[in-house]
A = this chain, B = another copy of it.
């Protein structure tokens, strides 16, 4: 371990974290730094400037993923990636994503400092990565940048995604100066490591400082539209109405009732609703709802999905509206790389933390990469009370430091290891 370096790292982390946290922040409302917004552009610029000062070159691919490249081992050497995302939810927290990117940056700077000494002999190059639109707040699906990089999402489809007011992701990226890939985007790495706040209470309740993610839950995401007919809310006879908002309300209420009863251990939500025309005096013509079901067992998600689709169809027929399923996507559960898990566990124990092996309910960029065949590790540090996607999200400095120490230790091992010897088997 590198006690001194790690302490310096925390000061360094705090300085850059404060700068990035200010971008899109409003008092009492947390941070709003939606993907490809002006705020995202500003955060990217600060990140790039900071990494360039530390000796990196900045590259970016066509979906806007940012790579701060440290060419320590020559063109032929393999790459290690570490990072997360700088975009946030609306009124989101400061730690979610940003901590992982900036901690990786700090680790890279600490390693750079040791370059040419006996303490650090790199056999690989390192890129610190900021993935585009991890959150899926402005554009769905989430994990957009890592999905494109890993091959799961075609670039053209990603660039054509539209936000709530119809702006294509490609156009939004262009508006912040991202109009294509730069010349020397690094190739697929041999390994990817991501450090993230937990967004749940498991570490908190277990009193542990470091979590090693062994895998994630699966998610079924269904976007349903009900289409009725606009009409005056006053004189239009009740029998003539085809009310899309009533259908959506029955859909949301029924979704909760059915799944809570038959599948109580699934996590479930309907959190986005778009209503047209959304005037108090016009019967709603179209209501679109984003539903999620999350669980470990894809067969169960399949059965639950069938049940809710039937219920949505009933809401349509009961209200004289028409149901359209705009999207119905299963995100398979991921199993993280066992060798990397062991390596992270060992680094944690060396730093004095008994790691907790755990599952993540949420998706993360590390999941997209692992599922594409890039060996990936996901390290968690505790969130106080598990608060996530909320301005009150908080992680204590000592937990940040623990995460940073473990990440740096893991990255040193990975970057120093000759190909084929980077895992603890």
Contacts and interface: CB of A to CB of B under 8 A. Distances in A.
Contacts of A90: 276-279, 282
Interface residues of A, number: 73
A337 interface: no
Contact of A136 (B140, B249, B281): B281
Nearest to A270: B245
Interface in A76-119: 89-92
A391 to B, nearest CB: 8
Contacts of A387: 231
A390 interface: yes
A361 interface: yes
A298 interface: no
A231 B278 contact: no
Interface string A223-243: 000000111111111101101
A252 B256 contact: no
Grouping DSSP codes into helix (H, G, I), strand (E, B) and loop, the A interface class, with mixed when no group exceeds half, is: loop
Interface string A266-295: 011111111111111111110000101010
State the oligomeric state as a number of copies: 2
Interface string A254-269: 0010001000100111
29 contacts: A89-B281, A89-B282, A90-B279, A90-B282, A136-B280, A136-B281, A137-B279, A137-B281, A199-B234, A219-B234, A230-B389, A230-B391, A232-B362, A234-B267, A234-B294, A234-B362, A235-B361, A235-B386, A236-B267, A236-B386, A236-B388, A238-B264, A246-B252, A246-B270, A249-B249, A249-B252, A271-B283, A272-B278, A272-B279
Interface of A: 89-92, 135-137, 140, 142, 164, 198-201, 217, 219, 221, 229-238, 240-241, 243, 245-246, 248-253, 256, 260, 264, 267-285, 290, 292, 294, 360-363, 386-391
